[in-house]
Amino acid sequence: MKFIVNSTLLLKEIQKLSSLVSSTNTLPILDNFLFDITSNKLSIIASDLETTMISSIQIESQDDGKIAIPSRMLLDTLKSFSNNLLTFIVDMEKFTVEMSSETGNYKLAGQNGDDFPKTPSLSTSNKININSSVLLNAINKTLFASGNDELRPVMSGVYCELSNEHTVFVATDAHKLVKHIRYDIISETNTSFILPKKPLSILKNHLVSETDVFLEYNDTNAMFTFENTTVICRLIDGKYPNYDAVIPKKNPNKLTISKSKILESIKRVSIYANKTTHQIKLKIAGSELQISSEDLDFANKADERLSCKYEGDDIEIGFNSRFIIDMLNNIGSDNISIEMSEPNRAGILFPLDGQEESEETLMLVMPVMLNS
């Protein structure tokens, strides 16, 4: 089998797929890219068994066939070329691959392409079309809040709840929670599933703005297709917790403030917080917000005062500064509202601007017990 391809074009495509090639693969064949050629189209496939990514480009070839090529060696070789035409000659019996450029020849041992895991197929799937910017916004707003606890795998992904009215994206790690609603993504059937973190991170890195993303899903897999790229992932199996039950409905104490002002203040004050709890205290009275932290072990202490707009009773409440900083970095708004009820109940963050008419975002953070 012989084919000719531009080195720069090929490098661009396999760099997309390289994040799926892990040094801890359980199957040695997964250390390879699968090259599958059909009618002058090269499909390059990488997989870790849970997620599969396919990228397709046009090439010159008289032959069809498939070969598994070592990913690291191919990637390192292509990085060293500037912009060359490469000729690949594959021995389909010995599975050797010979690359030729203007200046040299390179020979490496491949593997039988038939040994590469089969790409999952989605029979009896549902389909919806999503704008890439809308999907990217939803991923950015939620993914950071998903958990890492292997004992609670359902919380390690983003929960998607589709209906004929809207789509709800939810992520939580039991300390923080984000609920993001899109009224411009609708489905003919009511359904829900949990998307794993890894394929969402891949989409976040490779989605191109203002293109169409076609999402197909069934009970076990989801497939995202955009431009010349396809990402297929196995859905997380399990029942997602009742997220609405933990969102306080009555929050009479409402703080309104500039996001940048409170974010910069929390970042400074948190430097002096206990390195285990990362606890900061918000004390609000009238139109003044006091942010403070203390590390009794090292006699470190900091406090700042900010002017704000506030409605409600005076309150003192403690939060983990890292969670608040994460939320403020991802809320996508210049001004925010923090709504609270009691010092032992969750605080709710809302963006006050920067939102489209067809979206709603709510971020929740659990309090920490204040040092007496």
Model confidence pLDDT, tens digit, residues 307-365: 999 999 999 999 999 999 999 999 999 999 999 999 999 999 999 999 999 999 999 99
Say what the pTM is: 0.94
Instruction: In whole angstroms, give the CA distance from residue 46 to residue 30.
Output: 7
Q: What pLDDT score was predicted for residue 63?
A: 93
Cα distances from 211 to residues 42, 134, 206, 354, in angstroms, run 22, 10, 12, 21
What is the DSSP secondary-structure string of 191-233? EEEEEEHHHHHHHHHHPPTT-EEEEEE-SSEEEEEETTEEEEE
Contact indicator for 70, 31 with CB cutoff of 8 Å: yes
- How large is the angle between the packed helices 7-17 and 71-79, nearest 10 degrees? 140
Instruction: In whole angstroms, give the CA distance from residue 370 to residue 367.
Output: 9
Q: What pLDDT score was predicted for residue 292?
A: 98
Assess whether pLDDT exceeds 80 at residue 372: no
The one-letter code for the residue type at 123 is S
Cα distances from 305 to residues 200, 238, 308, 309, 325, in angstroms, run 39, 45, 10, 13, 18
- How large is the angle between the packed helices 197-206 and 132-142, nearest 10 degrees? 130
Contact indicator for 268, 262 with CB cutoff of 8 Å: no
% of the chain with per-residue pLDDT over 70: 99
Instruction: In whole angstroms, give the CA distance from residue 338 to residue 317.
Output: 12
Residue corresponding to tokens 């196995």: 234
* Rounded mean pLDDT, 53-81: 96
Assess whether pLDDT exceeds 80 at residue 177: yes
Q: What domains does the chain contain, in order, with CATH numbers?
A: 2-115 (3.10.150.10), 126-244 (3.10.150.10), 247-368 (3.10.150.10)
224, burial (CB in 10 Å: exposed 0-12, middle 13-18, buried 19+): buried
Contact indicator for 32, 70 with CB cutoff of 8 Å: yes
β 41-47/32-38 pair status: antiparallel
Model confidence pLDDT, tens digit, residues 278-317: 999 999 999 999 999 999 999 999 999 999 999 999 999 9
Model confidence pLDDT, tens digit, residues 191-250: 999 999 999 999 999 998 889 999 999 999 999 999 999 999 999 999 999 999 999 999
Contact indicator for 351, 361 with CB cutoff of 8 Å: yes
* Rounded mean pLDDT, 120-132: 90
Assess whether pLDDT exceeds 90 at residue 13: yes
* Rounded mean pLDDT, 120-138: 92
Instruction: In whole angstroms, give the CA distance from residue 315 to residue 254.
Output: 11
- Range in 18-32, 139-153, 227-241 the model is least confident about: 18-32
Instruction: In whole angstroms, give the CA distance from residue 7 to residue 76.
Output: 12
